[in-house]
Amino acid sequence: MIKKIFFILLFFFILLLILINYSKINSFFGFHIIEDKTYNNLNLEKKLIKCNLINEKIDRKNLDNERQCYYGCSEVDQVRVDTSIEYPCQKYIMEER
């Protein structure tokens, strides 16, 4: 009688542990629960935006970025590209946003 009660309590204890750690057990065996969360499905498409050359500065003191090209992507947004003196600034660049 005591053995039956012990095994029943042990069985329920193991069942309780399995229910508590259900996601850990699934990830251990390689099963993954697919959950549909609409807030994770945001529209994060990247677009190419044309940025035109605004200004070009040449500084011979700094050898790493002798030529600085400034591009305007919008009225507020500007992009600076540092290059060596051998590479001229392009008329425009396509920036991924």
Residue pair 53/40 in contact by the 8 Å Cβ criterion: no
Task: Indicate whether 42 belongs to any domain.
Answer: no
pLDDT tens digits for range 60-74: 887 767 899 999 998
Task: Indicate whether 84 belongs to any domain.
Answer: yes
Residue pair 32/26 in contact by the 8 Å Cβ criterion: yes
Looking at the fold, whether 25 and 62 belong to one and the same domain comes out as no
Residue pair 66/60 in contact by the 8 Å Cβ criterion: yes
pLDDT tens digits for range 17-49: 676 666 665 566 555 555 555 555 556 678 899
Task: Indicate whether 67 belongs to any domain.
Answer: yes
Task: Indicate whether 76 belongs to any domain.
Answer: yes
Q: Is 69 helix (H, G, I), strand (E, B) or coil?
A: strand
Distance of CA 60 to the CA centre of its chain: 37
Task: Indicate whether 57 belongs to any domain.
Answer: yes
Task: Indicate whether 92 belongs to any domain.
Answer: yes
Residue pair 83/69 in contact by the 8 Å Cβ criterion: yes
Task: Indicate whether 38 belongs to any domain.
Answer: no
Looking at the fold, whether 29 and 60 belong to one and the same domain comes out as no
Query: What's the confidence (pLDDT) of residue 38?
Result: 54
Query: What's the confidence (pLDDT) of residue 30?
Result: 58
Range of the domain at 24: 2-33
Looking at the fold, whether 53 and 91 belong to one and the same domain comes out as yes
The amino acid at 7: F
What residues contact residue 97 under an 8 Å CB cut-off, 6+ apart?
Answer: 46, 47, 48, 49, 73
Looking at the fold, whether 52 and 86 belong to one and the same domain comes out as yes
> How many domains in the chain?
2
Task: Indicate whether 26 belongs to any domain.
Answer: yes
Query: What's the confidence (pLDDT) of residue 49?
Result: 92
Mean pLDDT of the chain: 79
